[in-house]
Chain A
Amino acid sequence: MFRAILLTQWKWSRLAIVAAIVLAFTIPILSVQRFAGSGAEWIEGRIVLQSMRAFAGWYALLASAVGLGMAVTAWSADHRGRHVYALSLPVPRWQFALMRFGAGALMLLLPALALWAGALLATSSVSIPAGMQAFPGSIAVRFLLGSLVIYSLFFAIASGTARTAGWVLGGLLVIVALVAFDSSIGLPDAITNDLLDFVLAWPRAIELFTGRWMLIDV
């Protein structure tokens, strides 16, 4: 059963996954282009950090996009059929959802592995300044966890009805809007902070995205 679901998930998401693999492999390599092959024996650490910071957002963005895309493709075919097929299969709903989740989660490994390979290649092609370290494994794991967090969140939202998803996403948007315009509507800071905590800090896993996505760091 799981194999059948895995193959179906691959069919639905293979183009996006291949694109994500290419990007994940490329980003670390691009991040060291500025100082790779410069021939200089000594590279200023400041330049390395600047370059790493410039690309940090791309890792987080790609991880989010991969997780979101996988969550959407996991359920979109069932939504179109109003879940009649899934519900009429002789498998408990929780088991079916778990297998669907597992299939998508396995797919997330592929871009993370590509990122790891790209990061290893990138860091091996430059001489890292003294006092700095390369973190190809860490950034790949962070990427995997980041995509998994977003995937889990949106998988859960997408597994419900469109109305439920609308309520959850609408609620989040309202909170974001309140936080964004708190000064103009005179909302006390305490409430704003609580709301922000609710969105970002309450499921602590999302804090992952506020960390340092640096391939080479001090």
Chain B
Amino acid sequence: MSLAIHTSDLAWRAGRDFALRDVALHVPAGSLYGFLGPNGSGKTTTIRLLLGLLRPAGGSITVLGRPVPSAISEVLARTGYVPERPHIYPTHTVGEALDYHSAFYPAWSADWASELVAGFRLDRARRVSALSKGETGKLMILLALAQRPELLVLDEPTDGLDPVVRRDVLGAVLEYVSQTGATVFLSSHLVHELERICDWVGVMDAGRLVTEMPMQRFKNGIKRLRVMEAPAELSTPPFSVLSRQPNGAGELMVVNGWEPAMSQYFESVGATLREVADLDLEEGFVELLRASRQPSR
């Protein structure tokens, strides 16, 4: 599997309050990778490190096969970036913002930019500072897409947008990906948004990458089990236990990495599995975070 983004032991520190530790990302080329995490978990910091906006304190970063930060200009020429907060100059008009941005990207497609301007119903003569939040979001996506990138890094691109604009923006991204096979690295705290479009997911919490796996496994692998007579200590289970809580005569267990064949495990430890229930992605995400915040069992 070739990787569009690979980090190992990535570390960064901001004062005493916040640090990234041992972040090891593996973003497959051509994937739509959802980078999930609560606010303040380190998603934006990780993205800034990936794009050379911050210098890592330790570890290594490879983006599109090139080392970062040493080959950052080459990486940025092939990467479309939509930051959390709009970064373009507010005094520019939409047309001027397009002209300015296009001057830096040799692969810029003026035709496609024009199509997107029309599709998004943006007024070229309007100042960026006078655009609504939705229009600004569309313009940011437009700028990132029209440069024909191999990698799109989108930091909460739909945060605060209404559902119609959100659909337009994500629709444009998906159309681009289906045409070009580009990789998308999409950060969000909106679990359901990522669930619909991403095929890989990485979960950040408190500066650590809690888990990273295909979305299908994330969706299907986290289950709530009702178990009777389970021993206090489970010996080497084939799944990881995220939480346990008493429930009537038995207990409820939330597990990660579950497969149907694993039900036999409980018989082997003298317990009885009564029920296996699906968790929606948000519940699974919350359970994962809860488990990652507890001291290791």
Chain A residues proximal to chain B, CB less than 8 Å: 1, 3-4, 7-8, 11-12, 77, 80-81, 84-85, 87-92
Contact = CB atoms under 8 A, between A and B. Distances in A.
B259 interface: no
Contact of A88 (B53, B89, B92): B53
Contacts of B90: 77, 80
Contact of B83 (A1, A3, A88, A92): A88
Interface string B85-100: 1011111100010011
Interface stretch (B10-18, B34-42, B74-82): B74-82
9 shortest A-B CB distances, which residue pairs?
A4-B103, A90-B77, A90-B76, A85-B87, A84-B87, A4-B100, A77-B89, A81-B87, A89-B104
Q: What is the size category of the interface that chain B forms with chain A?
A: 20 to 34
B91 A77 contact: yes
Of the listed residues A88, A89, A91, A92, the one surrounded by the most CB atoms of chain B closer than 10 A to its CB is A88
Contacts of B99: 4, 7
A167 B132 CA distance: 38
A1 B92 CA distance: 16
A77 B103 CA distance: 18
A91 B91 contact: no
Nearest to B74: A90
B265 interface: no
Contacts of B92: 8, 11
B134 to A, nearest CB: 20
Nearest to B83: A84
Interface of B: 51-53, 73-77, 81, 83, 85, 87-92, 96, 99-100, 103-105
Interface of A is mostly: helix
17 contacts: A1-B104, A4-B100, A4-B103, A4-B104, A7-B96, A12-B91, A77-B91, A81-B88, A84-B53, A84-B85, A85-B89, A87-B53, A88-B81, A89-B76, A90-B73, A91-B104, A92-B73
A92 B96 CA distance: 22
Q: Is the interface of B mostly helix, strand, loop or mixed?
A: loop
B88 A85 contact: yes
Contact of A1 (B75, B87, B103): B103
Contacts of A4: 99-100, 103-104
B228 to A, nearest CB: 55
A11 B53 contact: no
A136 B91 CA distance: 37
B73 A91 contact: yes
B89 A87 contact: no
Given A1-B103, A90-B73, A92-B73, A8 B89 contact: yes
B51 A88 contact: yes
A139 to B, nearest CB: 34
Contact of B89 (A3, A81, A92): A81
A90 B76 CA distance: 5
A200 B87 CA distance: 38
A84 B87 CA distance: 6
Q: Looking at B73, B74, B85, which has the most chain A CB atoms within 10 Å of its CB?
A: B73
Contacts of A92: 73
B206 to A, nearest CB: 24
B270 to A, nearest CB: 58
A114 B153 CA distance: 47
Given A11-B91, A88-B81, A3 B76 contact: no
Nearest to A12: B91
A11 B77 contact: no
A88 B74 contact: no
Given A11-B91, A85-B88, 8 more contacts: A3-B103, A4-B99, A81-B88, A87-B53, A88-B76, A88-B81, A89-B104, A91-B104
A88 B103 contact: no
B123 to A, nearest CB: 18
A92 B70 CA distance: 10
Contacts of B81: 88
A96 to B, nearest CB: 9
Nearest to B100: A4
B74 A8 contact: no
